[in-house]
Chains A and B, each alone.
Chain A
Amino acid sequence: MAVRTPLYWDGSNIKEMSSAQIDQIVDQVVYQYSLNPSVSLSVVGSAGSLDSMTDTRKTAGAASTSTTGFPSESTTAEPGTVTVTYDKIDQSTASTSQITDTNNKAFPVFYSSGSIQSMSLTDMQDTFLEPAIDLLTTGSTGTQQAGTYFISTSSSVSGATLVSGTPVFTDTRANTAAYTDSGIPETLDQPTTINNYYLHRINGSDTSYTAPLYINGTDLQTYTDAAFETILQNGIRHMATSTTGFRISYNINGTGTNRGTAMINTVLNGSGDYQTLFVNADDYRAQEFPNGTAVTANTYYLKINKS
């Protein structure tokens, strides 16, 4: 581990950066990542690479009829269960290349025992890139996590971009109000949507920073913003996909930190509401409707992990 203190030109002297100035560069690394994330999520129709999630809901049992009297509760079909599988989150990893330390002086300089020396690739990683990965993979969802993803029940979230208007998960339950005895035989599956869950990507914020010095030939020179930002972007993109211990990935309910709201599958817990309908002396009907209170059957978290 070699965290360096880069040098910069303050207009009249060469100075070592403060920790606040280094933090500003780390924030710029995050912003650069947000401009072109190397690990991205998308919403697909099916067969996404992340684990699937299931939404279950109760349905009415099949209606029973009799010409002599109401079918008893014991002979009337019990409520059933409908299961919908959501497999819509797909992860893709970009092909990236390691940043090149041309002539061992492509990176910022620092004081070393009274002399000025260029940072190595490892120094770059330790000083700027690894702290950025640490920020990117926390549970917060602010600008310091720009370019990463989270789940919300809202389709419009300040500071984030909706990845798709298609929810990645929908929690439904039987709509008990839709089932009436006068409607027997009722349609078995009459759902109502409790919540939709949407995938969002956090927007970046271009923060100001002080560009460090580097060795240009035999001179010290301040990086142009474009040149330094290219190094930072390529570096963070490659680290996020390829550096062991700092690779970013997403999963459902696996290892890592929760990102956004949990997606919950709620279901009614009743054993069935037995109802009858007298149509005429030759037509007696019975059916069991979904009932009970809502309980959580499954809880799913989108997680971000570094490994």
Chain B
Amino acid sequence: MNITEEYLKEHFINAYFIDGERKQIEILSTDEETGNKVIPTIIEYNMEHPWCQALFKIIDLDQLHETTYQKLQSERAEFEKTVIRIAKRDGLIASSNKADSKFWNMVCDGIFNSDDDDKESLFALKIALFELDFIKDSKDKEKKAALRKAKTPIEVLQVAFSMK
């Protein structure tokens, strides 16, 4: 493969700087034989080199900086997704997809392994339950009072279940 203007016109996919100093450029192109394989080629940003000259016949420096910016943004988004995925995997944040997370582990842990002194969690559980329509709109004052007075998550949930 000789990187020429003609080759790039047919096979060029993208190009961007890969280093902070912006001295190295990665060119992505398709192979000449099948056109299906992506070939990464890294060249020096050196306008005396024929490969670099060929590249700059189909893309200018502003475009190269723009594609570099886009790639960095894309990598950042991918990195953030990875962090969130790991955090969900490790139960650091709850996943909306309950089947794929440790959501139920967290629920069970909160119910059955709760610390008796953990008043804040108990209060948070009660608040969450009172936001549910069937409890919020319930006319059963006795059960609502029982729910408020419950001392443990199990007691709270037992009252809630009886109201459903």
Contact = CB atoms under 8 A, between A and B. Distances in A.
Interface of A: 138-142, 152-154, 156-160, 176, 181, 195, 257-258, 260-262, 264, 273, 275, 293, 296, 299, 301
Nearest to B86: A273
Contacts of B3: 141
Interface string B16-59: 00110000100000011100010111111010011100000000
17 contacts: A141-B1, A153-B40, A153-B41, A154-B1, A156-B33, A157-B1, A157-B32, A158-B32, A195-B40, A258-B43, A258-B46, A261-B43, A262-B24, A262-B43, A262-B44, A296-B18, A299-B24
A275 B90 contact: yes
Interface of B: 1-4, 18-19, 24, 31-33, 37, 39-44, 46, 49-51, 75, 79, 82, 86, 90
Nearest to A143: B2
A275 B86 CA distance: 11
B41 A261 contact: yes
A140 B2 contact: yes
A176 B78 CA distance: 14
Given A152-B39, A156-B31, 12 more contacts: A140-B50, A141-B2, A152-B1, A157-B32, A158-B1, A258-B51, A262-B24, A264-B42, A275-B90, A293-B75, A299-B24, A299-B42
Nearest to A266: B18
A258 B46 CA distance: 10
Contacts of B41: 152-153, 260-261
A296 to B, nearest CB: 6
Given A160-B1, A258-B49, A262-B24, A154 B37 contact: yes
Nearest to B18: A296
The 6 closest A-B pairs by CB, nearest first: A262-B42, A158-B32, A261-B41, A142-B2, A141-B2, A139-B49
